[in-house]
Amino acid sequence: MHIPDGYLSPLTCAGAYVVAAPFWFVALRMIKAQLQTRLLPTVAVVSAFSFVIMMFNLPLPGGTTGHAVGLAVAPILLGPWAAMLAISIALFIQALFFGDGGITTFGANCVNMAIVGPLVAYGVYRLICGNTPLTSRRRVFAAAAAGYLAINVAALLAAVAFGIQPLFFHDAAGAPLYAPYALAIAIPAMMIGHLSLAGLAEAVISGGVVAYVQKVDPRLLSPSVPPVTAIGGTKAATPPAGWRPTRALWAGLAALLIASPLGLLAAGIAWGEWGVDGFRDAAVRAQIALASGHVAPPAAVPQGMERLSSFWTAPMPDYAPAFMHNEYFGYILSATLGAGLVVLSVLLLWGLLAGARRPRAAPNP
């Protein structure tokens, strides 16, 4: 999943750096506020740990082996922000020193494996395990599910990055300048391996590590639990915090995502959302007039609208990804991606505000 140099266009690489930069900034601020003089040694050693566990080969059922990326292990054991920094630094050293992953694509690799992957893993882990005791079996399942989902979301993002290259970046004769496969090929090619072997490796290693930690030192799991839960499930008198109060909202969001194809039942075009082609189509023109109090639309497409219509081409126009032939699943995938992006943005904003509100601590003597 480490994307090498040359696979992504400079524009995609720059976009990935722009996406990653605020997360790095917030993560560094959060960790600096927590650790103060411990920042340097702790982040350095933990990054080295993240690097080393990426080299562990794991024997899988069926006789094969796989290596885990630690997308779930790191946020569960270190918390999401420390994991973000540690995996980014490990990826940087891999790219520069060991040639695993590119330098121009470092931002994209971090977005996939150091930012979105750990955030998904952390969210899924917390959502499933809730406030169960640190030694609960549910945490093992939660970690396995978190690892499996996180690596697959990261792989999907990498596949989308590959798949959009031939759409936007090709020469005059149509030869692709970067990764040559469209989404319809890139997504299945990436996902088959990750939904099976790599996902299994990540699930086994995440669940296995949590099960082992529960036996030897459950306190290591405390960075990824809300402060109300103590070892053995004893609760403090503080009000509930973390994800629990919003659990019903998350369930509702999931139900809405599944119900999103209901939108296909709605006939016609929403008022004001007409496209350039709509102005040229007699049936759509009649619909516009009917919806506008029988005021006929202009005879020709407005010039500004025509000029700006090609300014941005959405990767998934009309909530129908080109690679998804079933429109219902296309709707659900679009809704999931959209909701995920919104949640990520809110998390980022939350982190920024939390960092800004935290008073500057005096340096340790």
Partner 1 sequence: MDHAVDAEQLAAGPGMLQRLDPRIKTLGLLLLIVTAVFVKSLVALAGLFAFATALALASRMTLRRLAGQVWTGVLLFTGALALPAIVLVPGDTVAVVPLLDWAITRQGLRGAAFLIGRAETAATFALLVILTTPWPQVLKALRSLGMPLVLVAILGMTHRYIFVLLETSVQLFEAKRSRVMGPLPGPERRRMAMASIVVLLEKSLHLATEVHLAMIARGYRGEVRLLDDFRIHVWDWFALTGFLAVAAVAIAWQWLYP
Binders of partner 1 in range 35-54 (CB under 8 A): 36-49, 51-53
Nearer to partner 1, 42 or 336 (CB): 42
CB atoms within 10 A of CB 157: 22
Q: Which stretch binds partner 1 (CB under 8 A): 60-68, 114-122, 252-260, 297-305?
A: 60-68
> Does residue 268 bind partner 1 (CB under 8 A)?
no
| CA within 13 Å, CB half, 322 | 13
Question: Cβ of residue 298: shortest distance to partner 1, in angstroms?
Answer: 38
> Does residue 63 bind partner 1 (CB under 8 A)?
yes
| CA within 13 Å, CB half, 183 | 15
- Pattern 185-224, binding to partner 1, x per CB under 8 A? x------------------xx--xx-xxx--xx--x----
State the alpha helices, DSSP H only, in the chain: 10-35, 39-53, 73-78, 80-98, 106-110, 117-129, 137-163, 165-168, 183-193, 199-216, 247-259, 276-280, 282-291, 303-309, 327-357
Strand partners, 59: 65
Asked if residue 221 lies in contact with residue 213, where contact means CB atoms within 8 angstroms, the answer is yes
Of residues 78 through 117, those in contact with partner 1 by CB under 8 A are 89-90, 92-93, 95-97, 99, 102-104
> Does residue 166 bind partner 1 (CB under 8 A)?
yes
> Does residue 226 bind partner 1 (CB under 8 A)?
no
Q: Which stretch binds partner 1 (CB under 8 A): 5-13, 191-199, 224-232, 300-308?
A: 5-13
Q: Which of 214, 185, 252, 2 is nearest to 108 (CA)?
A: 2
> Does residue 23 bind partner 1 (CB under 8 A)?
no
> Does residue 314 bind partner 1 (CB under 8 A)?
no
Q: Which helix (H) or strand (E) holds 65?
A: strand 65-67
> Does residue 61 bind partner 1 (CB under 8 A)?
yes
Q: Which of 340, 346, 352 is nearest to 120 (CA)?
A: 340
| CA within 13 Å, CB half, 282 | 0
> Does residue 359 bind partner 1 (CB under 8 A)?
no
Question: Cβ of residue 354: shortest distance to partner 1, in angstroms?
Answer: 20
> Does residue 360 bind partner 1 (CB under 8 A)?
no
